[in-house]
């Protein structure tokens, strides 16, 4: 015989009375777990979509405008290249990739196009001042991450279209946009003359449907030299972690580079932020409901239970039980109720989310172990708090009043 | 030894003052079997609750073995009950969802005994009251007489020196009631002090070594032996 024996036997004896309060906490936890689960995987899905878009933050000269996102670097306004260094050596989190650009209009074999200078990743890594502190030493986090760690195999250069950076690019190499490649009938390893310099075509990029199709990409420093503009750039494209953007990455970059304008793909980020806020609000709403309804139901049940068992309590006191033991007896019951509701709510909530997630949010849902701990803790805390007063009353019952026949 | 010194208990119910006990003085020596008789509402139960440390007096002192029990804390009185006092109730007050064995184990658990010890002692006690074959039965599966015997076994679990019984035969048939009283006498013979509240003065007279009567909260000595003399023959009212 232990205290738990008494509590468990009593629960089993009066299980039908316990059912209502158990259901209240079970359903509350179920709803919260399913919302949290769907929210988490929705956020991940949005983050993936944002990553798929490529660069999602642009650093532009202060006077530049953003009428066309894809043409933002073609306005002629310039800013110092050292901004790249400032960003790369900063401790800002969520900067997954940087791609500085300098664009100049050119005509090649009678075809108007844009020569865009880009800085390959090898250039970042070769600068000793950036080593260890730069973004390329950070491990991949899965949040919009496309940066590759040194030593890994170089991906094909065509990935520039999506990733906005490439690993290596020699001073005499060029990547050709699909439209330019098509009009000039260029293929890999062809030679092309741009602004009097011969470039070898290392790849013809796939079609994107944007102005990138009419670009010729070459090494930034080569383009700077050909344009005679010195160490300047028109824009820095950044692939920022979606969650960090939501947390204010743009304003942090603004603080870091007060002489530049920092913009982001507002709609996507706003959608993400709105979704996050709505889901967080919904979770909070349900948490309040579970705390109020579940808590009130449990408190009501506990009061009734104490009243019904007052003779039993009086008997236990007459047999020598301390008021602390009576208190523990009711609180243990609350803990069992809370843990049971939490476990059941987690299982039901996960099943509900896995069923509804693909239909409501179009995302696949998987069980989240962290939510298990959270669900059990929340429901146990609510059950214990709701039972505190009834349990305290039970512990303070006058044994004389509970043994009326005496 | 149980003593009461100038104990008064007043209640207020619906703005009316009720005297439960009035300036009561009492001394019960170790090993006595005292029966307290009186009509309903006379204060018998108040007296018993006070002796058990469960109802504090409005004034006066209640002592167990010289210790003023209402000078102890609530938990101190609970500990005293656990060590020295066994209660028997008219309605047995068994925990309905526990088996006979588990009901007897409750005071042993409260005393801090481990499960194995609890089971051994509880089994022996139930065998002593003749319920060795009903260990796993719940109270609802036992007759009222058997329930009272489980309650007696439970009362004996902490080996109390003092037994406080409130109408222990009130719900029983005469034969079972007689057996229970015999059992109390047996416990008294073992050296335990028995204080029994009853309205059955004849039953009290048969077993108790001393009988007291409570009338309107006042304790009076009572000669119960006269109740044992044969009843006078009733004369026919009309020839």
Whether residue B198 lies inside any domain: the answer is yes
pTM recorded for the entire structure: 0.66
Mean pLDDT is highest, among A210-214, A218-222, A240-244, B19-23, for A218-222
Under DSSP, is residue B108 helix (H, G, I), strand (E, B) or coil? helix
Quick check: B106 and A1 CB within 8 A?
A: yes
For A:285-314, CB contacts with B below 8 A are: 311-312, 314
Query: How far, in Å, CA of A358 to CA of A364, rounded?
Result: 6
Nearest to A406 among B49, B82, B108 (CB): B49
Closest residue in B to A324 (Cα–Cα): B75
Within chain B, strands assigned E span: 2-13, 16-28, 33-37, 59-64, 67-68, 85-88, 162-166, 193-198, 210-215, 218-221
Is B42 in CB contact (< 8 Å) with chain A?
no
A4/B contact by beta carbon, under 8 A? no
Ordered by start, the domain boundaries in chain A are: 3-47+273-402, 54-264
Which of A239-243, A355-359, A362-366, B20-24 is predicted least confidently? A239-243
Contact present, A235 and A189 (Cβ < 8 Å): no
How far apart are the C-alpha atoms of B86 and B14, rounded to whole Å? 33
* Alpha carbon distance B15, A261 (integer Å): 81
Residues of chain B contacting residue A324, judged by C-beta atoms under 8 Å apart: 75
Is the predicted pLDDT of residue A35 greater than 90, yes or no?
A: no
Q: CB contact, 8 Å: A12 with chain B?
A: yes
Of B75, B91, B102, which is closest to A405 when you measure between CB atoms? B91
State the average pLDDT over residues A18-45: 86
CATH number of the domain bearing residue B214: 3.40.50.300
Q: Given CB atoms, is B135 within the 8 Å cutoff of chain A?
A: no
Q: Is the pLDDT of residue A349 over 90?
A: yes
| Cα distances (Å, whole numbers) of residue B92 to A18, B155, B159 | 26, 10, 18
Helices (H) then strands (E): counts for chain B: 8, 10
Look up the domain containing B187 and give its range: 29-54+75-224
Per residue in A115-165, pLDDT tens? Answer: 999 888 766 554 433 333 333 334 444 454 444 433 445 556 555 555 556
Mean per-residue pLDDT of chain B: 85
For B166, the closest chain A residue by CA position comes to A406
* Spatial contact of A88 and A124, defined as CB atoms under 8 Å apart: yes
Beta-carbon contacts below 8 Å between A and B: 89
The ipTM of this complex is 0.83
Neighbours of B189 (CB within 10 A): 10
The pLDDT tens digits of the residues spanning A276-313 come to 677 778 778 877 887 788 889 899 999 999 988 888 99
Q: Which of A322, A126, A114 is nearest to A235 (CA)?
A: A114
Total domain count, chain B: 1
Nearest-by-Cβ selection for A318 from B45, B81, B98: B81
The minimum CA-CA distance between B226 and chain A, rounded to whole Å, is 27
Rg (CA), chain A: 32
Whether A195 has its CB under 8 Å from any CB of chain B: the answer is no
Whether B81 is covered by a domain: the verdict is yes
Q: Which residue of B has its CA nearest to A325?
A: B110
d(CA B155, CA A315): 11
Report d(CA A74, CA A66) in Å as an integer. 11
> How many other C-beta atoms lie within 10 A of the C-beta of residue A17?
14
């Amino acid at each position: 015989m232990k205290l738990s024996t008494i509590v468990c036997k009593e629960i089993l004896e009066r299980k039908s009375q316990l059912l209502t309060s158990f259901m209240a906490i079970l359903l509350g936890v179920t709803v919260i777990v399913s919302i949290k689960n769907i929210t988490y995987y929705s956020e991940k899905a949005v983050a993936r979509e944002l990553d798929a878009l490529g660069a999602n933050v642009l650093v532009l000269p202060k006077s530049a405008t953003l009428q066309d996102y894809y043409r933002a670097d073609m306005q002629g306004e310039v800013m110092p290249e050292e901004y790249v260094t400032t960003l790369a050596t900063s401790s800002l989190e969520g900067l997954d990739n940087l791609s500085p650009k300098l664009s100049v209009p050119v005509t090649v074999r009678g075809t108007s196009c844009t020569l865009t200078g880009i800085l390959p990743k090898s250039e970042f890594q070769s600068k000793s001042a950036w080593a260890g502190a730069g973004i390329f030493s950070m491990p991949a986090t899965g949040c919009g991450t496309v940066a590759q760690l040194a030593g890994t195999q170089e991906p094909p250069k065509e990935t520039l279209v999506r990733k906005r950076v490439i690993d290596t690019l020699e001073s005499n190499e060029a990547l050709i946009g699909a439209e330019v490649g098509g009009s000039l009938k260029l293929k890999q390893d062809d030679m092309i003359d741009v602004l009097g310099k011969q470039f070898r075509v290392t790849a013809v990029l796939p079609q994107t449907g944007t102005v990138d199709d009419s670009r010729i990409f070459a090494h930034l420093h080569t383009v700077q030299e050909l344009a005679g503009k010195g160490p300047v750039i028109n824009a820095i494209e950044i692939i920022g972690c979606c969650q960090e953007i939501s947390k204010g990455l743009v304003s942090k970059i603004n603080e870091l580079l007060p002489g530049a304008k920092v913009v982001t793909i507002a709609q996507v980020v706003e959608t993400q932020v709105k979704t996050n806020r709505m889901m967080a609000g919904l979770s909070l709403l349900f948490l309040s409901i579970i705390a109020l309804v579940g808590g009130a139901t449990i408190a009501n049940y506990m009061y009734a239970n104490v009243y019904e068992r007052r003779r039993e309590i009086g008997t236990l006191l007459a047999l020598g039980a301390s008021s602390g033991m009576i208190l523990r007896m009711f609180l243990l019951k609350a803990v069992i109720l809370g843990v049971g509701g939490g476990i059941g709510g987690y299982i039901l909530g996960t099943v509900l989310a896995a069923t509804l997630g693909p239909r409501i949010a179009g995302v696949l849902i998987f069980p989240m172990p962290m939510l298990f701990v959270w669900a059990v803790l929340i429901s146990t805390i609510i059950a214990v708090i709701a039972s505190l007063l009834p349990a305290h009353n039970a512990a303070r019952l006058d044994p004389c009043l509970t043994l009326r026949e005496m | 030894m149980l003593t009461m010194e100038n104990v008064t208990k007043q209640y207020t119910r619906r703005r009316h003052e009720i005297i439960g006990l009035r300036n009561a003085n009492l001394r019960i020596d170790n090993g006595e079997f005292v029966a307290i008789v009186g009509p309903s509402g006379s204060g018998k139960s108040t007296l018993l609750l006070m002796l058990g440390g469960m109802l504090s007096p409005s004034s006066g002192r209640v002592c167990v073995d010289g210790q003023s029990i209402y000078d102890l804390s609530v938990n101190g009185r609970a500990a005293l009950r656990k060590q020295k006092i066994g209660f028997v109730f008219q309605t047995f007050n068994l925990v309905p969802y526990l088996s006979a064995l588990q009901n007897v184990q409750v005071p042993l658990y409260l005393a801090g005994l481990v499960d194995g010890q609890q089971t051994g002692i509880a089994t022996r006690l139930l065998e002593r009251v003749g319920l060795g074959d009903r260990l796993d039965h719940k109270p609802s599966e036992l007759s009222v007489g058997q329930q009272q015997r489980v309650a007696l076994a439970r009362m004996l679990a902490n080996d109390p020196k003092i037994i406080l019984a409130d109408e222990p035969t009130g719900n029983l048939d005469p034969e079972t009631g007689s057996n229970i009283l015999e059992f109390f006498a047996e416990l008294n013979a073992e050296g335990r002090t028995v204080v029994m509240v009853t309205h059955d003065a004849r039953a009290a007279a048969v077993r108790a070594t001393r009988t007291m009567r409570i009338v309107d909260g006042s304790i009076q000595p009572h000669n119960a032996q006269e109740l044992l003399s044969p009843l006078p023959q009733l004369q026919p009212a009309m020839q």
